């Protein structure tokens, strides 16, 4: 049986009180809840404070370029469908630099989990406005306030036909670990957007602010009703719903790849005559 200790305990580079600590603890608990041993888990991240989270877990890790966690996660999943693949980065990395990859992943519906640490700023580079920053938010590089309206990842995900869309909060660990557990168990691409206070560079969306503006979805919310899910997802201002916004079932992208029917690529034998035949076609 998998335990919390299996995933290790490491010193971090995060600020005291950072919301990342809560997300890291919730993820560990979720992996234990799913009884996943570390050797069966791959965590893929890009660049940023959130993208350091996989460094603090004893599991397989790939730390790539800024915004490029999802292409690497998709490639790994296609090469070895026996791995549980989790892409974990911040709102800037996933929704900004990796925006196009985010849309493509939702459309393809591979069996992977996306955890977005959404602190509404670029924390690693000292607090510039990110795609999800509130309109008018003043930072060192936006002294007159951020002009664009914030990117709404949940509404986009529901619209793009994502098969699992949820929002958690780093200040509600029990609910967050449960959401991550359900996302990992979901068969398809699962997005968990996690509201995360940045205690150093976001003085607006603090723990107190989230306590006052978040609410848990009521039992009567039907996550299989797409129209209802979209209405809930569009609540992206003073009221922020927590829970599973939308869930459905769609065919997996990797099921359409004939070679994967024989198992992970690494376990398949290479046919030298067949390879030579293919190479001849390019000469």
Euclidean distance between CA atoms 61 and 88, whole angstroms: 10
What pLDDT score does 242 carry? 98
Nearest to 192 by CA among 213, 162, 171: 162
Averaged pLDDT, groups of 10, the chain, 283 residues long? 95 95 97 97 96 96 95 94 95 95 96 97 91 92 92 97 97 97 98 96 95 96 97 94 97 86 84 91 91
Q: What is the pTM of this model?
A: 0.94
Euclidean distance between CA atoms 85 and 30, whole angstroms: 14
What pLDDT score does 15 carry? 95
Give phi and psi for 160, each to the nearest 5.
-80, 0
Domains and CATH numbers, the chain: 4-281 (3.40.50.970)
H or E stretch covering 108: helix 99-108
Residues whose CB is less than 8 angstroms from the CB of residue 273 and which lie 6 or more positions away in sequence, other chains included: none
Q: Report how far apart, in Å, the C-alpha atoms of 131 and of each of 173, 201, 214 are.
A: 25, 15, 20
CA atoms within 13 A on the CB side of 191: 33
Euclidean distance between CA atoms 239 and 214, whole angstroms: 6
The three-class DSSP label of residue 52 is: helix
Residues whose CB is less than 8 angstroms from the CB of residue 262 and which lie 6 or more positions away in sequence, other chains included: 268
């Amino acid at each position: 049986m998998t335990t919390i200790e299996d995933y290790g305990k490491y010193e971090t580079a995060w600020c005291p009180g950072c919301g990342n600590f809560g997300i890291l603890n919730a993820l560990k608990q979720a992996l234990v809840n799913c009884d996943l041993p570390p050797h069966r888990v791959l965590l893929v991240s890009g660049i940023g404070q959130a993208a350091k989270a996989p460094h603090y877990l004893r599991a397989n890790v790939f730390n790539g370029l800024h915004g490029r966690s999802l292409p690497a996660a998709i490639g790994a999943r296609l090469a070895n469908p026996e791995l549980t693949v989790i892409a974990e980065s911040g709102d800037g990395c996933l929704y900004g630099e990796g925006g196009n990859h985010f849309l493509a992943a939702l459309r393809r519906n591979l069996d992977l989990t996306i955890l977005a640490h959404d602190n509404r700023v670029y924390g690693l580079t000292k607090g510039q406005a990110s795609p999800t920053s509130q309109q008018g938010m003043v930072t060192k590089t936006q002294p007159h306030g951020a002009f664009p309206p914030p990117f709404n990842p949940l509404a986009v995900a529901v619209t793009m036909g994502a098969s699992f869309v949820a929002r958690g909060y780093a200040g509600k660990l029990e609910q967050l670990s449960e959401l991550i557990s359900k996302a990992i168990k979901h068969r398809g691409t699962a997005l968990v957007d996690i509201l995360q206070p940045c205690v150093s560079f976001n003085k607006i969306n603090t723990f107190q602010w989230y306590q006052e503006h978040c609410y848990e979805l009521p039992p009567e919310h039907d996550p299989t009703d797409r129209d209802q899910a979209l209405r809930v997802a569009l609540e992206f201002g003073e009221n922020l719903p927590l829970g599973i916004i939308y869930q459905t079932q769609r065919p997996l992208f990797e099921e359409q790849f004939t070679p994967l029917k024989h198992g992970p690529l690494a376990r398949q034998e290479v046919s030298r005559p067949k390879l030579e035949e293919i190479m001849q076609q390019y000469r």
